[in-house]
Every structure is written in structure tokens, then in C-alpha cells.
């Protein structure tokens, strides 16, 4: 039977009180963490423990992201830009590795420690205020790139990350992100014992790698 799995990332508002120094507005923060000045991460996971207890493998059929609004800058100007990445993986990342994913993806030389196979789905969007939208301060989608293998997993978790990276320089005094929903459509199937055990061992090895911030 096909399953639709969902996880949500909450609202975020960050203030630039002094140039290039950003602070999370805590009363408008739903689960986000500041990693460096200008970079923020929200992380959660899909709990697949019930499936793993039944010794089934999850095969992904589709993945997607639902957003309500574009990033909203306050007091912005043409040229202001942000990168917003949505990532779902079969192996965990530290917050710093997630930031690297937003910059370099899972390509050769990336410091994410996440391979193509471990990247189930990712979407990286670049938003900018251009001369047309600058009159009302809105952001336009400049580029949207998707990557990932949609590889099956026997892990009891799929990790879900949302990443915000500020452009440099950026004049906006505040940037807010509306809530987001990550979605995975998958089907759980039994595999031959040998294939399942090999996949389970690989999933276990990935989850036991050092988790160091």
C-alpha cells in the first residue's frame, strides 16, 4: 500500500540589527537554530520505526515541498538575495553540514558528508529582489534546482532539513519564512532476506557515523 509521509518546518523571522549580524526573533521562531551569522537550519525526521519492525524496505515513488509564501524581506532593496534549501536524506547531517549542502549540494568535494545515494530529495531555491519587485519589497524566484536519488531505505528514519542562507551583502532589516511541508510518497515492500539485510546494515552504518556539531 502506498503511504504519504509528511513533516513540517515552522515559521522563522530573523533580524539584522547591525550589518551582517542576524538574530532569531524568538517569539516568531518555530524550531529553527542559528548556525552562523546569516545561516539557519530547521531539522526533524520521519519516524519509520513501525516499518522497520515489520522488516520492510521503503521504496520512494515521489517527493515534494509545499510552501505558502516566498521569503519576505522588510526594508529590502534590489539585489538582496537568499538561498532556501529543502533536503530529505537517509543519513543525518549536522547543522553545519546542512549549511554546506545549501551551498554545494552533494557534489564531489562537498563538506556535507552526504552522497547522491543518501540524498532522497533536495530542492535549492535562490530568491532575489529585482528592480521590478523592489518597489514593494517582494522576492522573485531566480533559480530552482532539484537533486536526489530517491533510493530505497531500510532505515527507521528519514531526515528532513530546511535551510536559510542570507546573501552578502543584504540590506533587509528582517527576513521571514513561512511554514513548509515536506512530503514523501512511498510503498513498503518485503525484499529477499539477503538484500534486506545488506540494506539494513548499510542504513545502520550511516546512522552510527559521528554526529558532531
How would you write the chain as a 3-class SS string?
A: CEEEEEEEECCEEEEEEECCEEEECHHHCCCEEEEECCEEEEEEEEECHHHHHCCCEEEEEEEEEEECCCCEEECCCCCCEEEEEEEEECCCCCHHHHHHHHHHCCCCCCCCCCCCCCEEEEEEEEEECCCCHHHCCCCEEEEEEEECCCCCECCCEEEEEEEEEECCCCCCCEEEECCEEEEEEEEEECCCHHHHHHHHHHHHHHHCCCCCC
Radius of gyration of the chain (CA): 18
The pTM score is 0.87
pLDDT in tens, 117-153: 999 999 999 999 998 776 677 899 999 999 999 999 8
Residues of the chain under the 50 pLDDT cut: 194, 196, 199, 210-213
pLDDT of residue 168: 86
The grid cell for 159 is: 531526515
pLDDT of residue 192: 52
User: Which one, of 32, 42, 36, 41, lies nearest residue 21 by Cα?
Assistant: 36
pLDDT of residue 199: 47
Q: Is there a contact between 183 and 65 (Cβ–Cβ < 8 Å)? A: yes
Amino acid at each position: 500500500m502506498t503511504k504519504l509521509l509528511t513533516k513540517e518546518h515552522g515559521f522563522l523571522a530573523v533580524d539584522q540589527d547591525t550589518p551582517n549580524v542576524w538574530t532569531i526573533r524568538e517569539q516568531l521562531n518555530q524550531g529553527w537554530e542559528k548556525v552562523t551569522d546569516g545561516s539557519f537550519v530547521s531539522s526533524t525526521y520521519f519516524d519509520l520505526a513501525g516499518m522497520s519492525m515489520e522488516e520492510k524496505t521503503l521504496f520512494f515513488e515521489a517527493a515534494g515541498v509545499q510552501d505558502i509564501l516566498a521569503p519576505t524581506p522588510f526594508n529590502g532593496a534590489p539585489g538582496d538575495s537568499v538561498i532556501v534549501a529543502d533536503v530529505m536524506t537517509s543519513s543525518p547531517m549536522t547543522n553545519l553540514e546542512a549549511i554546506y549542502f545549501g551551498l554545494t549540494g552533494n557534489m564531489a568535494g562537498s563538506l556535507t558528508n552526504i552522497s547522491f545515494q543518501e540524498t532522497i530529495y533536495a530542492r535549492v531555491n535562490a530568491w532575489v529582489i529585482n528592480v521590478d519587485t523592489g518597489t514593494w519589497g517582494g522576492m522573485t524566484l531566480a533559480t530552482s534546482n532539484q537533486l536526489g536519488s530517491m533510493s530505497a531505505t531500510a532505515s527507521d528514519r528519514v531526515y528532513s532539513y530546511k535551510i536559510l542562507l542570507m546573501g552578502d551583502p543584504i540590506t533587509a532589516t528582517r527576513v521571514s519564512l513561512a511554514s513548509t511541508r515536506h512530503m514523501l510518497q512511498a510503498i513498503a515492500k518485503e525484499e529477499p532476506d539477503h538484500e534486506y539485510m545488506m540494506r539494513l546494515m548499510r542504513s545502520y552504518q550511516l546512522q552510527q557515523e559521528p554526529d558532531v556539531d
